Structure 1
Amino acid sequence: MSEHPKKPNPIPNSLVDLFVTDILQKNGISKKDIKDKITDDKKQAIKELVEDLSKQVESFVNSNSNKGSQK
């Protein structure tokens, strides 16, 4: 066996798309509205936010994996 713990599978993009689409529909927002009204600055801010959250999640998962392997 490998000494490295198995990394959990990342959340599939299709699942993320489903959740986002569902939330937007519940709030009466269509994809066309988003494409027409969002500015380039907001797009960049959202991309940076997603990257930051991804890093935080990866760090959290890795720290929990390390704690579990020490027991």
Structure 2
Amino acid sequence: MCSFRCPIQAQVVNNKTVFIQGNPSAPQQGTRICARGGSGVSLVNDPQRIVKPMKRTGPRGDGEWQGD
């Protein structure tokens, strides 16, 4: 999720992530987690999340993309 690569533990129910917390086995952080890590549930479950590669269709910087 971010460049710090904090150790996390995710709870998955019916193949869907429902809760993310810090990994209690990690000696440095325990169950603490940053705001970005805590918002991970909404990031992975977002219906508008890009899940396939996209191809740029216009000039660089135009923001025009084509998905499958």
**TM-score grouping bracket, smaller chain normalisation:** under 0.3
- Which structure is richer in relative contact order (CA contacts within 8 A, separation 6 or more)? 1
Name the larger-Rg structure.
1
TM-score (norm 1): 0.26
